[in-house]
Amino acid sequence: MKAGIPKFAMTILGGVFSSVVGLQGQTITGWGFNGSGQLTPPAGLTGVVDIKAGADFVLALKSDGTVAGWDTITMVRQRRCRG
């Protein structure tokens, strides 16, 4: 295993200047350039089952069916998915 990659990573997404990792403990961590706040998940974020990321934002699907998204501009938003 490469240095710096958490042992229990479930998803690893690489961007141009940063990377985001979804952990099996249903939390998120990241490293790299954090110019838009994309590496700073909302306090208390848990229950993450999947993540997606763009150049300057992150979306997290939670086990209760809601999606949390964050960056510096929009701050934190959470919505329930309909499916």
**How far is it, in rounded angstroms, from Cα 77 to Cα 59?**
10
Predicted confidence (pLDDT) at residue 68 exceeds the cutoff of 60: yes
- Domain spans of the chain? 9-80
Q: How many residues does the chain have?
A: 83
pLDDT tens for residues 25-56?
Answer: 788 888 888 888 888 888 888 888 888 888 78
**How far is it, in rounded angstroms, from Cα 13 to Cα 21?**
6
**What is the pTM for the complete model shown?**
0.72
